[in-house]
Amino acid sequence: MKKINHSVLFVLCIWSVSVWAQQSRKVEPMPMPLNRQVTADDHLHMLAQQLNLTKPQQAKIRPILERYMKQRHAIMMNNKLSADAKSKGFQDSENAMHAKVRRLLTSRQKQTFDEIMGPPEPEADHHAEHAHHPARAKGRSTPK
């Protein structure tokens, strides 16, 4: 009888620890099986849920996401591009997609979108980072 009580107590302890562990960390459900490609509809579904998109917004965003997914696939399949060129292509297409989607959102949705995806890169600052002449990029003239 004592062994059964200890066994029951042990099982209850293990169970309570597992329940506590599940509650202490936020577990996000997997949006899809791991063995299939992410689609534009997957992206749209996630955005629709998190941003509370209206049906007209979804209809306008779907072609943007489809175009983005085609661009990503084309970049990935292009064997002539270096890894750096592919990375830049992915980043550029993602930034363009984000900018197009943001234009269709309300101010509240934009705030949530920025929390999910990160704030948009200011175009002027992005170009200033890559300028060959930092003094000119900041609006100052170079000394002669």
The 10s digit of each residue's pLDDT in 36-50 is: 778 889 989 999 999
Cβ atoms 50, 112 nearer than 8 A: yes
Give pTM, 2 decimals: 0.59
Is 16 inside any structural domain? no
Is 104 inside any structural domain? yes
Domain of 63 in residue numbering reads as 39-115
Is 83 inside any structural domain? yes
The model's confidence at residue 53, banded by pLDDT at 50, 70 and 90, is very high
Is 22 inside any structural domain? no
Number of domains in the chain: 1
Q: Model confidence over 10-37: pLDDT tens digits?
A: 555 565 555 555 554 444 555 555 667 7
The rounded percent of the chain whose pLDDT value lies above 90 is 49
Is 139 inside any structural domain? no
Is 47 inside any structural domain? yes
